[in-house]
Amino acid sequence: MKKSAAFFAFFLVSGSAYAVVPTPTLPAPPPMPAPQIGGVKAAVLLDVNTDQILLDQNGNTSFDPSGLVKLMTAYLLYQAEAQKMVQPGERISVSVDAWHAPGSRMFIQPGLPVTVDQLTHGLLIDGGNDAAIAIAQAVAGSVGGFVDLMNREAAGMGLRQTHFVNPDGMPTPGQRSTAVDMARLARALLVKFPQVAKIAGQASYQYNHITQYNYNPLAGQKDITGLGVGLASADNWDLAVSASKDGRGLVAVILGASSRAVAGTDASAMLHYGFHGWQERQVYPAGAIVAQLKRVDWSPETLSVITPKTIQVVVPKPSQGKVESRFVADPTLQAPLKANTQVGTLDLLWNGKVLKSEPVLAKNAVAKAGWFSRLWHRVRGSL
């Protein structure tokens, strides 16, 4: 007997063919349940392409992010390289402060040659605090100046619950962040500087004849691309892991795990859930009209609202249900309005739950209508 997706076909018996019988309609299997991450302070899973939070356990509560601070240090280093302030092959002078940095180290020292690229490896693979101090001084001239840049960049990214005190993540009063903020910082780093994945996912590197191994317990595994590890205190591990598969990227953040191994096991379960329990869908192409607003005191009377870019969402598997959209106009909209001005947001919903919100723009400009135009609009509307 041969079975297809649509029907069963039966054997011929005594020269007669039996009728094709449709298969019964079966209910769709339930969506993959989210893993329950126990024994940690916070856990967040974020989809990189869509910026959607797929799993959130205590993700907006502030904690010491410890070594995950280095994600911002790396971001500013890559930004400085893009601005030609430093170059990967450039030799950096190592200060005494960097040499004597406590905690994890790549063992740089004054007088020993080290390049920006080598510091990047030391920062991202074994979380070298000495590398972080040397990078801060090379980019901003001082650690204090670099920390100012870190907080300015965090504010620009909208990381409202994050405040940095140092570039290395050593526990210091006042340094705080959340799992959601760290996930969004990791996403910004991956999106703007994708070259980070070529280094952060490596299992080891060598500097000055010393082989250092990646503290990330998932480093070197298939699809894993980084990103950072931190130890806030004894039995208090933080981990940010990025992974890429079939064109999708995910970031899993764990704060406050009891061990590095536990953090890795939890992050692995989260990544599996993200890749196998969710799928990507395109909802609108760039430039799609999603709403039209009419006002008699506008000229022209109609304002078309468009998407500035392709809008994608990830939805639970199996793909049962419908993605719906809801335009929310800016309540303060007034003419005149220029084309490409943001006029509101578009909520994308799955079974009534908001998956994400995207800004939407005016396709055309509108001006204030004169008295004759307003009168004509009213007359035409009454016909």
| R_g of the chain computed on alpha carbons | 27
Question: Count of domains in the chain?
Answer: 2
- For residue 33, name the pLDDT band (cuts at 50, 70, 90): confident
Q: With respect to residue 304, please indicate whether it lies within any of the assigned structural domains.
A: yes
pLDDT band at 8 (very low <50, low <70, confident <90, very high): very low
- Arithmetic mean of pLDDT over the chain: 89
Indicate whether 28 belongs to any domain. no
Q: Domain end: 238, 254, 280, which one?
A: 280
Q: What is the CATH number of the domain that holds 99?
A: 3.40.710.10
Whether 22 is in a domain gets the answer: no
Domain that holds residue 295: 285-382
Residue 316 sits in the same domain as residue 271: no
Confidence of residue 149 (pLDDT cuts 50, 70, 90): very high
Residues 119 and 253 in one domain: yes
Contact 89, 167 (CB under 8 A): no
Residues in CB range of 61: below 8 A, 6 or more apart: 41, 42, 178
Peptide bond into 24 cis (omega under 30): no
Tell me the one-letter amino acid at 272. Answer: H
The pTM assigned to this predicted structure is 0.85
51 and 84 share one domain: yes
Last residue of a domain, one of 249, 280, 311: 280
Tell me if 12 is assigned to some domain: no
Q: What tokens appear for 67 in the block?
A: 């070594």
Does one domain contain both 163 and 298? no
* Domain endpoint, select from 280, 298, 331: 280
- Does any domain span residue 138? yes
Whether 14 is in a domain gets the answer: no
249 belongs to a structural domain: yes
Res. 23: pLDDT tops 70 = no
Whether residues 276 and 297 fall in one domain: no
119 falls within a domain: yes
Q: What is the C-alpha separation between 362 and 341, in angstroms, rounded?
A: 5
- Say if residue 222 is in the same domain as residue 358: no
Q: Are residues 275 and 295 in the same domain?
A: no
121 in the same domain as 265: yes
- Tell whether 177 and 322 lie within a shared domain: no
Q: Say what the pLDDT of residue 378 is.
A: 59
Where is 380: in which H helix or E strand? helix 371-382
